[in-house]
Amino acid sequence: AVGYWLVGASGLLYSMIGIGGYTRLSGSGLSMTDWRIEGRSLPRSEELWKKEFEDYKRFPEYQRLHNGSMELTDFKRIYFVEWFHRMWGRGVGVYFAVPLVYLGARRIVRGPLLLRLTGLLGLGISQAFVGWWMVRSGFDPPEKHTPTLGPNQRPRVSPYRLASHWTAALTLYVGVVWNALTLLRPSPAVAHGTKEALAAAAKCRRLALPVAAAVGLTLLSGPFIAGNDAGRAFNTWPKMNYDWVPPEWVRAVANPVANMRLFFEETAVVQFNHRTLAYASVFGALGLSAYGASLPLWSGAAAAVRLLPLAVGAQMCLGIATLLLYVPIELGVAHQAGGVLVLTSVVAVLHALRLPAAGMLALPAAVVGAGAVAAAAAAAA
């Protein structure tokens, strides 16, 4: 039961990430100009709506993009999207916190599992503060956060703070998924079963780790695409306009220390890095799948390794379509959600390739199996 509760929490976190993508792409994220941790209701009168609108007008997004062209009805639409995103996050927090307190108080969940889940709850609470810290940067002139891009920039949040918010969200999601799998899947000693399967898992894991790193770097480069609006330039593929390698990237790598900020702010450099990491992820996933097919992996690991290149390849195709079509909101949200699905696939692979503790290897199989059953019963009775 605890494992399925965590699966539900994973689904809610996934939906939260998707809603966050829509909030950003629809231009709604800077519409609420204050924040309180307990939340609040929507404005209940026309006068309160007008007050919120006047507050919004004080900041660069309205002044540079909407001055004189946005009506109150337009503002209400984007305000509702941001308000819903915030309230949905609070709802996810309640879904996680209330059962955790109950399960901990009844000692249904205890020991290391309780500590891990409490840590994840703390990370989730901190996400609210990180999210506001990110949004707050959007009220500053954008030149303050990305000085290399020159004057008259489009108002947006700091790509660095966006990356922090994204990284924390993915960390929270991975933590919940990993703990759910730990409760619902057999232990490594039981899953691998034979010495051959165990040796195969150890070999496959050595290749899976660098593939996971490539996928992780690709995901972490995404906020710099989004935060710099880099997806709305070089809308061609496979070349970037007329170049396989953009000259901006060549100039950046010629003196990487002096040009460090260009790797996170310059449109051509950021997009080339994201493309290159995506290609590395696809080829790495294909290589891992081919290698795994030659090894006697247990069924769960074999299936996870086979599915990984499908997820990564589909995500790359979705990214190319999003780029070529100039980042329509629907495809942009789908691409962000697809990235989380790819991450889920990587977590499934690494979890399936876990190795048993050294002490477990010396025990007879029957004893190991009985111990695994007892441990699962104790964690989720």
> pLDDT for 311-335, tens place per residue?
999 999 999 999 999 999 999 999 9
Handedness of CA 136, 15, 114, 181 (dihedral sign): negative
CA-to-CA dists, residue 158 to 7, 83, 141, angstroms? 32, 20, 10
Q: What is the pLDDT of residue 152?
A: 84
pLDDT of residue 106: 93
CB 279 within 8 A of CB 287: no
d(CA 232, CA 322): 10
Average pLDDT of span 126-140:
96
H helical segments located in the chain: 2-25, 46-56, 60-61, 72-105, 111-137, 159-184, 188-192, 195-227, 247-254, 262-265, 267-293, 299-324, 329-352, 358-361, 365-380
Q: Using the 8-state DSSP alphabet, how is residue 114 labeled? A: H
Q: Residue 112 to residues 67, 116, 142, 300: CA-CA distances in angstroms?
A: 54, 6, 44, 25
Peptide bond into 238 cis (omega under 30): yes
Averaged pLDDT for residues 60-81: 95
Q: Please, which pLDDT band fits residue 38 given cuts at 50, 70 and 90?
A: confident
Mean pLDDT to the nearest integer, 130-152 = 93
CA gap 170, 360 in Å, rounded: 31
d(CA 99, CA 103): 6
| 290-295 average pLDDT score | 97
- Does 41 score more than 50 pLDDT? yes
Q: What is the mean pLDDT of residues 106-128?
A: 95
Tell me what the pLDDT averaged over the chain comes to. 92
